[in-house]
Structure 1
């Protein structure tokens, strides 16, 4: 298991993820990041024009995926 982090970029600002989640593979972490982006998009108060992005980062700090929040 490896720890992955999911910071969120919203309106030019970063919301850090200091805790992260444990996953057995990069693929599972990428899938989780996509689900987080879908969950944000499903919020009726979500500003879908804000360019919000969920980033998937592994324990070494390497970015492995980006998920744009879409309407």
Structure 2
């Protein structure tokens, strides 16, 4: 469905804290997305980017968590 001319689709803020070596790196800023699906895809991309780092410690149990504006976890992506 196409939005009426002049109307903007609602952008919601999602956060992407990273759990690594038993500690959580908080994401205070987050990113804006038009849907939860796009936020989940972004979280997967962040996890892939971390995994592609040659210095990535794959045994550290690193996980990118996707959290919606209400604070609910909607996805987890292992590295």
TM-score of the two chains, using structure 1 as the length reference? 0.96
| Alignment partner, residue 67 of structure 2 | 57
Deviations 1:9-65 (A, max 9, x none): 000000000000000000000000000000000000100111100000001000000
Gap runs ≥5 in structure 2? 1-10
Correspondence for 1:47 among 38, 51, 57: 57
1:9 partnered with 2:4: no
* Superposition misfits of 4+ residues, deviation over 2 angstroms: none
Which residue is 1:28 aligned to? 38
Instruction: Point out the structure with max Rg over C-alpha.
Output: 2
Which position in structure 2 is the counterpart of 1:38?
Answer: 48
Structure with greater strand percent: 1
Larger relative contact order, structure 1 or 2 (CA cutoff 8 Å, min sep 6): 1
Q: Which runs of 5+ in 1 are unaligned?
A: none
Q: How many residues align?
A: 69
